[in-house]
Structure formats: structure tokens, C-alpha cells
Amino acid sequence: MWQEFKQFIKRGNVIDLAVAVIIGGAFGAIVKSLVNDIIMPPIGMVLGSVDFTNLFIDLSGGGYESLAAAQEAGAATINYGLFINAIINFLIVAFIIFLVLRQMNKMQEEEAAPPAAPTTKECPYCITEIAIKATRCPNCTSQLG
């Protein structure tokens, strides 16, 4: 069992996945900061100094001034402002991943080898595949031009 585990870990796919998860976590922190510290303040200002993180519905009826105060008191809340932030965060991450993958696909297309020249052609009489240099069809024995 130990040998199988070592072989599993040595596979390139597992290492690539581990690297992707680590980079994804770091990238998530960057995007979270981008959303919370750069994008949301101007949006909140345009919407009348609204801070999405403090948008909530107090289900307990305590009339708390902020989400932090409601959570500290243990009140039941629906935190729709945090949900809005999560949606914006997701859309930004998805858009950036789209741009990165789009650029990678373009680079792969540029590096791709040109298509190979055909090695066969179709006999005009019997419609079978024959060698491109053939002067007579081996199937119907027709003379090819």
C-alpha cells in the first residue's frame, strides 16, 4: 500500500493539482482584497455611501447598527451584503480566469504545428481512398489523370 501511495504522489497530476490549489488560495486573497478595498468603496459611494458588508436583515428585531454588533450579540441575521460581495468576487475571479485561459489558448494556437499534408486522395470513379501518388486505382483499376 505504501508503494502505491508513493506512486500516486509522484504522478505529475497530483503535483500540478497541489500547486493549483496553493496558487488559487493566494489568488483568492488578492481578488478578495481587490473587491473589498478597491472596487466596493467606489460602488458604495456611488450608491450613497453604502457598505455592502453591513447590509443585513435582523431576524431577532434587536435593531443593531452594524452586522458586527448583531453577530456579537448572537442575533439571527440574513447577511445579504456579504452575499453581494461574494457574487462580485466570483464574477471578478471568473472574468480574470477567462482572460488568462483565452490568452493561453491563443499562445497554444500560435505554437501548434501546421497541419500535415494529405497522404491519400479519393478515386473519382469508385470513391475509395488511394495513395496520393497513385496513377491507377487498385480497387477499380481506373486510370487516374
CATH topology of domain 2-112: 1.10.1200
Write out the residue limits of the CATH 1.10.1200.120 domain(s) in the chain: 2-112
Q: How confident is the model at residue 54 (pLDDT cuts 50, 70, 90)?
A: confident
Which residues of the chain form beta strands (DSSP E)? 57-58, 77-78, 120-122, 129-131
How far is it, in rounded angstroms, from Cα 58 to Cα 99?
39
Of 97, 127, 139, 77, residue with least CA distance to 66 = 77
State the residue for C-alpha cell 478578495. 32
Q: Quick one: pLDDT at residue 94? A: 82
pLDDT by residue (tens digit) across 57-87?
A: 989 888 888 888 998 998 999 999 889 888 8
pLDDT by residue (tens digit) across 102-142?
A: 998 888 887 777 778 888 999 998 999 998 888 889 988 88
